[in-house]
């Protein structure tokens, strides 16, 4: 695949950023307390859940709905940033497994580059998957190839929506 395929729909953020999107990826830390449906007046034991999100324009962060579902507290961390910033959940779309957050502290937004949505990738397009795998504190970049496009069931919302299936190649760059 050529350079144009890998960068489809992405715009470079700075000459020092070699991986597209890495300047917008954040870690989302959520304390959850799901309801106890057997005893509706009680909540289950609180647990911590770590996932990835990315910054978009309008000082917003997109993440997965299942990562903030039943939240009690949400904190967002920048790459190589020790302190977390308190986040507000603006919307949770369980049907499509997307949630939107914001952070009121202006210091959080310094140094972050909002992503812009581009074209939908085609079959066999090479892509980079950037995020915090398996609750890791270390961001990673994995190369992948789009191996399927179609209507797929979303487990969290029980809806069937357009989605991508990717085939991972290898870990290309741990940070």
Query: For position 157, what pLDDT does the model report?
Result: 65
The answer on 68 and 141 residing in a single domain is no
The total of structural domains in the chain comes to 2
Co-location of 29 and 10 in the same domain: no
Same domain, 55 and 101: yes
Answer yes or no: is 115 within a domain.
no
Distance of CA 124 to the CA centre of its chain: 22
User: At which of 109, 136, 163 does a domain end?
Assistant: 109
Whole-angstrom distance, CA of residue 78 vs CA of residue 81? 5
Q: Give the model confidence (pLDDT) of 125-156 as tens digits.
A: 998 888 888 767 888 888 899 999 988 887 77
pLDDT < 50 positions in the chain: 1-18, 172-175
Looking at residue 7, its pLDDT comes to: 38
Q: Are residues 93 and 126 in the same domain?
A: no
How far apart CA 134 and CA 140 sit, in angstroms, is 11
Answer yes or no: is 116 within a domain.
no
Q: Same structural domain for residues 154 and 96?
A: no
> Which range of residues forms the domain containing residue 138?
3-14+121-174
In a domain, 114, yes or no: no
Q: Assess whether 156 and 131 both reside in one domain.
A: yes
- The helix/strand count (H/E) of the chain reads as 3, 9
pLDDT at 5: 40
Query: Does 94 share its domain with 143?
Result: no
Q: Are residues 83 and 44 in the same domain?
A: yes
């Amino acid at each position: 695949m050529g350079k144009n395929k890998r960068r489809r729909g992405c715009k470079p953020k700075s000459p020092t950023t070699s991986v597209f999107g890495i300047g917008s990826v954040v870690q989302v830390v959520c304390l959850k307390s799901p309801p106890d449906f057997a005893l509706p007046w009680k909540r289950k034991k609180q647990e911590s859940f770590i996932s990835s999100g990315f910054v978009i324009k309008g000082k917003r962060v997109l993440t997965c709905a299942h990562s903030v579902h039943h939240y009690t507290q949400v904190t967002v961390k920048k790459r190589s940033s020790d302190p977390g910033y308190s986040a507000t959940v603006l919307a949770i779309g369980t049907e499509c497994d997307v949630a939107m957050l914001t952070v009121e502290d202006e210091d959080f937004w310094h140094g972050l580059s909002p992503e812009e949505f581009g074209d939908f990738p085609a079959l066999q397009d090479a892509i980079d998957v950037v995020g915090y795998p398996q609750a890791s504190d270390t961001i990673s970049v994995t190369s992948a190839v789009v191996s399927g496009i179609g209507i797929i069931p979303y487990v969290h919302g029980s809806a069937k929506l357009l989605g991508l299936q990717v085939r991972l190649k290898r870990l290309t760059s741990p940070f």
